[in-house]
């Protein structure tokens, strides 16, 4: 069983109100082999919503209370991101998922790259809150850019 960012399976849950269509990932959901999740929605955020970025670190830092997640208007959404990560972890544990395919560059789901917190489009190495929590709990995390490496 896999956990997949719901937006990658076509659900319109991105901050912009749209989704993506990765047919192979959507097929895994349709076949019951993957569970679509959106940590930001599970954390209580709306669709659409303002863009969010991690300020002062990465997802591990957010979980450790050393960094925050803010909207482009300066609203602190850290609690929603932490809650959403915990909800995804609970689902993964309940379903026995040991692998996740998450949306790269997201402040929740980015696995190797996130935005730098300046809302300028600049990317930095790092992971989002949900990816960090899953990794901490021993769940392997991939993105839509490298999921074909799944074994």
Number of domains in the chain: 1
Q: Range of 26's domain?
A: 2-149
**Predicted model pTM:** 0.96
- Does residue 9 have a pLDDT over 80? yes
Q: What spatial distance separates the first Cα and last Cα of the chain, rounded to whole Å?
A: 13
76-105: average pLDDT: 98
How far CA 44 is from CA of 38, 78, 108, in Å, comes to: 10, 11, 13
- The DSSP symbol for 127 reads -
121 backbone dihedrals φ, ψ, rounded to 5°: 90, 0
Q: Work out the pLDDT band at 149, boundaries 50, 70, 90.
A: confident
Place of tokens 């300066």: 74
67-78: average pLDDT: 98
- Does residue 41 have a pLDDT over 80? yes
């Amino acid at each position: 069983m896999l956990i997949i960012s719901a937006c990658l399976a076509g659900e319109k849950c991105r901050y912009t109100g749209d989704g993506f269509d990765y047919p192979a990932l959507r097929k895994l959901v349709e076949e019951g082999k993957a569970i679509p999740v959106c940590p930001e929605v599970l954390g209580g955020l709306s669709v659409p919503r303002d863009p969010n970025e991690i300020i002062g670190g990465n997802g591990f830092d957010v979980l450790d209370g050393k960094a925050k997640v803010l909207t482009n208007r300066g609203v602190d959404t850290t609690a929603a991101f932490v809650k959403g990560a915990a909800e995804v972890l609970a689902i993964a544990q309940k379903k026995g998922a040991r692998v996740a395919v998450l949306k790269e560059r997201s402040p929740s789901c980015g696995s190797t790259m996130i935005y730098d917190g300046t809302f300028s489009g600049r990317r930095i190495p790092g992971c989002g809150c949900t990816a960090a929590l899953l990794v901490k709990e021993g769940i392997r995390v991939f993105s839509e850019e490298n999921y074909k490496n799944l074994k």
